[in-house]
Amino acid sequence: MNEKRANQRLTDFNEVAVSVISGDENLPETGISYHYSEDISVSGVRIRGDILLPIDTLLKIDIKLKTLFSRISTLGKVKWIKTILENVWYEVGVEFFNTPPETIQKIGDYISLKQEYKNLYPFNLLFCDFAKNDGRELK
């Protein structure tokens, strides 16, 4: 299968806060329940939530990068939608735009750091990824 993505994508869970900037009139501007991302690249992110966001909806996205202990904020546009469970759970592909260069650099550094760690400690990272429950670490 040919990969269409131009940028390296890291499969990783991160906390996310999403708000609608513009889009469907029926969408709430606040209270959008998209709480984590599933993967990230310097050009976009895949998020999961319980509200169907139409294609071309403009979003403000705040992502907490757990390894760097920092937050990034950027704008994004919904590029694709996948229904996981009808009227309950959706995946949305978001393409970043108007992202400051320092934010792109921070995402790139995060991806590089996680990939380097994965290469050095593949079993440890594998265990950490399986020790998740709905994006939260088990206690």
Domain ranges of the chain: 10-137
The model's pTM is: 0.74
Using CA atoms, how far apart are residues 5 and 61, in angstroms rounded to an integer? Answer: 20
CA distance 130 to 41: 21
Q: Look at domain 10-137 and name its CATH class.
A: mainly beta
Mean pLDDT of 89-110: 92
Q: What are phi and psi of 58, to 5 degrees?
A: -90, 135
Q: Kindly give the residue spans of alpha helices, DSSP state H, lying in 1-139.
A: 101-120, 122-130
Residues 102-127: tens digit of each pLDDT = 999 999 988 888 888 777 776 654 44
